[in-house]
Structure 1
Amino acid sequence: MMANGGESLDLMALAGIRMPRDLRERAQAGDPVAQFNMAVRYAEGIGVQRDYLEAAKWYGAAADQGDAPAQFNLGLMFYQGTGLPKNLDYAYALFSLAAAQGDARAQAGMTAILAEVSEREAAELVAAHGRGDATVSTH
């Protein structure tokens, strides 16, 4: 099938069955949207074999650029121990960054973590990473 400009369309990529040709290039060039999309593909096994470590790498790249959905998804991987060692401190820190940008799911994640840990651990998490506002820097 041809696009208006005479270039051929990759219908398999458009259908999500195969990775678009330029997605990896854009992700490697630092595009946080492409990095997030690469992560989702690896986490879900869309067009590639499922690989949680590769997903975490791409979520991390986008999260480092301030992408709230990537911060939340990577935090969720650490919270659940999906493909990564379970780490509530990392999860809480990432959730806090996303929550500071208005991500309600991240705020719920922070609340869930605080309910799971001791009062002392909860106080340490809040002191280190805040409550999902912009008052505490985690970098």
Structure 2
Amino acid sequence: MTKGGESLDLMALAGIRSLRDLQERAQAGDPVAQFNMGVKYAEGIEVQQDYLEAAKWYGAAADQGDAPAQFNLGLMFYQGTGLRRDLHYAYELFSLAAGQGDTRALAGMTAVLGEVPGDVAAELLNTFGRGDTGSPTH
């Protein structure tokens, strides 16, 4: 993001000036900080890349209803990135995110349905629906 040709540091604007600040907020339960810790570990930004640690932070934020975290964790389970591939759980996470308006999650749900047998697809649709959309999230 830029303002007057200068790059704005959104983390600094939020009062987060260091990785330690972000960790403290995440440990205190801030779901946006938890999501951002997940991103840092998933991509190896300022920390050693660690998919299990990324999943831990995404999971903490996802449990609090953070749609981007639900999507990212769902993607990890869908792809089997650092975790056991689990299409059922990926679909569940995608449906939670889609219910909050995350359109990427709708694509994830469609991908899962295309990979599972018909009876499993029917079960997923019956249990979690088609991702009734709500308002978009951050």
Same fold (TM over 0.5): yes
Deviation per residue, 1:1-57 (Å, 9 max, x gap):
xxxxxxxxxxxx97xxx9522111100000001000000000000000000000000
Instruction: Read off the aligned partner of 1:128 and give its amino acid letter.
Output: T
The two structures, once aligned, show a CA RMSD in angstroms of 1.7
Q: For 2:89 and 2:116, locate their aligned partners in 1 and report how far apart those are by CA, in whole Å.
A: 14
Unaligned runs of at least 5 residues, structure 2: 1-10, 134-138
Q: What is aligned with 1:38?
A: 37
After TM superposition, give the deviation of residue 118 of structure 1 in Å. 1.1
Query: How many residue pairs are counted as aligned between the two chains?
Result: 119
Contact 1:107-1:132 within 8 A present in 2 as well: yes
Q: What is aligned with 2:129?
A: 130
Instruction: Read off the aligned partner of 1:83 and give its amino acid letter.
Output: G
TM-score, scaled relative to structure 2: 0.82
Q: Which consecutive aligned stretches of 4+ in structure 1 deviate over 6 angstroms post-superposition?
A: none
Is 1:88 aligned to residue 87 of structure 2?
yes
Deviation per residue, 1:85-106 (Å, 9 max, x gap):
0000000000000000011100
Q: What is aligned with 1:22?
A: 21
Unaligned runs of at least 5 residues, structure 1: 1-12, 135-139
Q: What is aligned with 1:137?
A: none
Q: For 2:19 and 2:111, locate their aligned partners in 1 and report how far apart those are by CA, in whole Å.
A: 36
Quote the sequence identity (%). 76
Q: For 1:109 and 1:76, locate their aligned partners in 2 and report how far apart those are by CA, in whole Å.
A: 7
